């Protein structure tokens, strides 16, 4: 598939942007200091300055749409929509946990991503395939199970760390290009899993 994809991942503390052509990585910029609002546009600009590819030449923008950080999701998707609209390109929305799943050899396990405090987004896999929907719970709910995910100090029983990355988003985008691509970008929304709750004063 000779497609050029700009890929973006902002659902955690990691801000990651990469450019792929025909499934080959051209450039990658990443930072893990939660500076998405100041770095995302800068990373995209740097990629097209350094490459010999014009931004108008890309075929699509792949973006991680969650679950993940509310702030990160809003920044990433808002940027992707604005850029896609300005250059008239489609968006490929990618589930964050799906992007983390590549390369796991176990058949039965849980894939997790930290939400806040001791709460996690959790996807169960049985016989190597998704079992049920992503759910929201504490890590204690799957204690003593095989757990993979993005490590932090709350994920102590994680047997393998998997960093979110725009490279992983691009991998899923190429694999599912025709099925996932969206031309009507107005309809794309962040996948929060758990609704945002506002405290009444």
Reading the chain (201 residues) residue by residue, the pLDDT tens digits are 789 999 999 999 999 999 999 999 999 999 999 899 999 999 999 999 999 899 999 999 999 999 998 999 999 999 999 999 999 999 999 999 999 998 888 999 999 998 887 788 999 999 989 999 999 888 788 877 888 988 666 666 566 789 999 999 999 999 999 999 999 999 999 998 764 554 555
pLDDT of the residue at 142: 83
pLDDT of the residue at 200: 54
- Separation CA 150–CA 158 (nearest Å): 8
- Mention the CATH class of domain 4-96+164-187: alpha beta
Q: Which tokens hold the place of 67?
A: 């679950």
What pTM, to 2 d.p., does this model score? 0.91
Place of tokens 């107005």: 186
pLDDT of the residue at 4: 98
- Separation CA 192–CA 64 (nearest Å): 12
Domain residue ranges of the chain, discontinuous segments joined by +: 4-96+164-187, 97-161
What burial letters (b/e) apply to 119-135, b meaning 16+ CB within 10 Å? ebbbbbbeeeeeeeebe
Query: What angle (nearest 5°) sits at the alpha carbon of residue 24, between those of residues 22 and 29?
Result: 125
pLDDT of the residue at 166: 98
- Separation CA 111–CA 104 (nearest Å): 10
């Amino acid at each position: 598939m000779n497609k050029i994809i700009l890929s973006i991942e902002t659902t955690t503390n990691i801000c990651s942007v990469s450019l792929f052509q025909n499934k080959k990585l051209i450039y990658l910029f990443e930072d893990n200091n939660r500076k998405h609002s100041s770095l995302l546009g800068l990373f995209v600009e740097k990629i097209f300055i350094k490459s010999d590819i014009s931004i108008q030449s890309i075929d699509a923008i792949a973006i991680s749409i969650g679950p993940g950080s509310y702030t990160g999701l809003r920044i990433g998707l808002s940027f992707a929509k604005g850029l896609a609209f300005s250059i008239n390109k489609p968006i490929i929305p990618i589930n964050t946990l799906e992007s983390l799943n590549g390369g796991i050899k176990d058949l039965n396990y849980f894939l997790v991503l930290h939400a806040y405090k001791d709460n996690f987004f959790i996807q169960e896999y049985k016989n190597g395939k998704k079992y049920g929907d992503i759910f929201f719970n504490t890590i204690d709910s799957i204690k003593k199970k095989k757990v993979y995910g993005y490590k932090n100090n709350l994920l102590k029983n994680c047997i393998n760390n998997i960093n979110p990355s725009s490279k992983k988003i691009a991998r899923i985008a190429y694999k599912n290009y025709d099925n996932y691509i969206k031309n009507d970008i107005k309809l794309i929304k962040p996948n929060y899993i758990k609704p945002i709750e506002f405290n009444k004063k």
